[in-house]
Amino acid sequence: MESIKIFAPATIANVSCGFDVLGLALDTVGDEMIIRKTSTKGIKITKIIGQDLPLETHKNVAGVAGLALLSELQSNSGFEIEIYKNIKPGSGIGSSAASSAGAVWAMNKLLGNPFNTTQLVKFAMEGERLASGVAHADNVAPALFGGFTLVRSTDPLEIVKIHTPDQLYATVIHPQIEVKTSDAREILKSNVTLKDAITQWANVGGLISGLYTEDYELIGRSLHDTIVEPIRSILIPAFDAVKSNAIKSGALGCGISGSGPSIFALSKGLETAQKVAASMESVYENVGIDFDIHVSKINQQGIKIL
Amino acid sequence: MESIKIFAPATIANVSCGFDVLGLALDTVGDEMIIRKTSTKGIKITKIIGQDLPLETHKNVAGVAGLALLSELQSNSGFEIEIYKNIKPGSGIGSSAASSAGAVWAMNKLLGNPFNTTQLVKFAMEGERLASGVAHADNVAPALFGGFTLVRSTDPLEIVKIHTPDQLYATVIHPQIEVKTSDAREILKSNVTLKDAITQWANVGGLISGLYTEDYELIGRSLHDTIVEPIRSILIPAFDAVKSNAIKSGALGCGISGSGPSIFALSKGLETAQKVAASMESVYENVGIDFDIHVSKINQQGIKIL
């Protein structure tokens, strides 16, 4: 096997109560990439279709993540990468994570799997560091593991894959405005009240319990964020109206995807997720804001060979 | 059925990372109570053996919890309660919770189960309010539900029973010093760093995931408390030495039981839990502090009829 074509999924980080630790992978939204072994040492990004992103290896998240893998392996291997970008950078659904995770996953495959998935997360985090200044794992972990993931610890890195019920669907709406991850981080307060923190970890506990027991109502009751959403939602136009419509249309919960501006909702079943999509769309249609919208089952598998 | 004799278990609240929300029930440590239906309306505490506690209904936690139940039911029923107190008040293993929970559980049984378990938690919380000034649920919930419990929300009250692996054993050591719950609450800071809070909810997620998947190592890695333990442990003599001995002897994790002064450790299997007990004992033996020690399987059932 000298070349593979893969699907690298979009991801939702934080998932309301799980700021910085929880994430999930989408099934119908993601980038496609072709990764090819070559005789020239190093990584060459040969083509990027769909977005205007740097081809220079050191400036490209897939390149940087790939170099981290090669450096650890002390390998003389060489790879060419083509990226067919379907996830818009800055949308809040893990655009950089998909490219970073896709590159290292495919390279590992072509090299005969020298690394386990947690090690791949570590390499892909170097792409995240380039993209946002912080080597966070909450998007690359679900992209690589699939399903819901928990970053239990960053040092040492430990990712826990959480059981994900089969009827869980995500609706994601992306209003066409820009919120930089770095800006969205800066407005956060460095201290929180103990009371709010307790509420948050009670909900993390409830959400994870609901995922294991496939208790959709418990999942819904736990999808609250008392700490980050009240601050970051200010940066997202009509957030309250979109969320309120989603809940009224039957969504289990609704919140900010990653650092925004995308807003996600989780629903039980495709039909509800589609109704939720229509209700979220209507808000931006009424105020005249352009948007993309996606409805997707939770991706249980992560990156796939096409 | 006009009279029952019950076992009301001791409980460990907080369980390291789960401050204010997690708790678990013990199997071999607890109070015994006899509850009898009478023809006189109200509640009479007729006997308390083992501890010097008030017999006046309004000053006794079992009395107050029972009155809360009768008031909700608008009942003319009457009950007599005998309490055989094996759990020392102020030990940090839910002494007041056992009496409160036991009273309402037995009364509900004798009345033909008009209330569900969550409603019983609510009544028992009134006993906790009398004991500590705060109507917290983190001891009464596991006493009534058994196993591990999560207080997902206090308003409205929602208790989630968490799957508890069969080979999980607790070791609890109680140094004979007094730490008042109210004092232990006062020294807490009302604000925490977002960074510490994230670490805490990552560990709550890891612990709950480990319980469902019966991954004892993950349970152990998640039993950390970056927020409360560093402050409260100052009130407990030789805490660091006891904890370090427990971990060295094979405990999965070790922390403060409730608001202390008891220290708990969790282990896989009875044999390890007993080794852990010996190692914890040795610390207090060396410094000449009196202690009680308990080794117990996690109680899956909660209160039991004897």
Q: Which domains does chain B have, with CATH numbers?
A: 3-162 (3.30.230.10), 168-297 (3.30.70.890)
B192 and A188 within 8 Å at the Cβ level: the answer is no
Residue A42: left (phi > 0), alpha (psi -120 to 50), or beta? left
Spatial distance between the Cα atoms of B140 and B151, rounded to a whole number of angstroms = 10
Span B260-291, pLDDT tens digits: 999 999 999 999 999 999 999 999 999 999 99
Percent of chain A with pLDDT over 70: 99
- pLDDT of B1: 63
Residue A138 has pLDDT above 90, yes or no: yes
Q: Is the pLDDT of residue A162 over 80?
A: yes
pLDDT of residue A244: 98
B128 labelled catalytic = yes
User: A117-132 and A61-73 are packed helices; what angle lies between their axes, rounded to 10 degrees?
Assistant: 140
What is the tens place of the pLDDT at every residue in B39-78? 999 999 999 999 999 999 999 999 999 999 999 998 888 9
Are A163 and B198 in contact (CB < 8 Å)? no
pLDDT bin (cut points 50, 70, 90) of residue B105 is very high
pLDDT at A211 > cutoff 90: yes
CA distance A87 to A48: 12
Chain segment A219-251, per-residue pLDDT in tens: 999 999 999 999 999 999 999 999 999 999 999
DSSP B298: B
Give the residue numbers of A annotated as catalytic, written as ranges. Answer: 128, 181
Q: Inter-chain contact A221–B152, Cβ cutoff 8 Å?
A: yes
On whether the CB atoms of residues B257 and B12 are closer than 8 A, the answer is yes
Determine the distance in angstroms separating the CA of B224 from the nearest CA of chain A, rounded to an integer: 11
Q: What is the rounded average pLDDT of the residues B223-236?
A: 94
Percent of chain B at pLDDT > 90 equals 92
Of A178, A140, A99, nearest in space to A12 by CA: A140
What 3-state DSSP class applies to B294? Answer: strand
Section B109-120 average pLDDT: 97
Instruction: Report the residue of chain B nearest A152, measured CA to CA.
Output: B202
The mean per-residue pLDDT over the stretch B202-214 comes to 98
- pLDDT of A63 strictly over 70: yes
Contact assessment for residue A35 and residue A45, using Cβ atoms and an 8 Å cutoff = no
B164, B298 contact by CB (below 8 A): yes
Q: Given this model, what pLDDT does residue A177 score?
A: 86
Residue A167, Cβ density class (10 Å: 0-12 exposed, 13-18 middle, ≥19 buried): middle
Predicted confidence band of residue B17 (pLDDT cuts 50, 70, 90): very high
Please tell me which residue of chain B has the smallest CA distance to A219.
B152
What confidence score (pLDDT) does residue A1 get?
A: 63
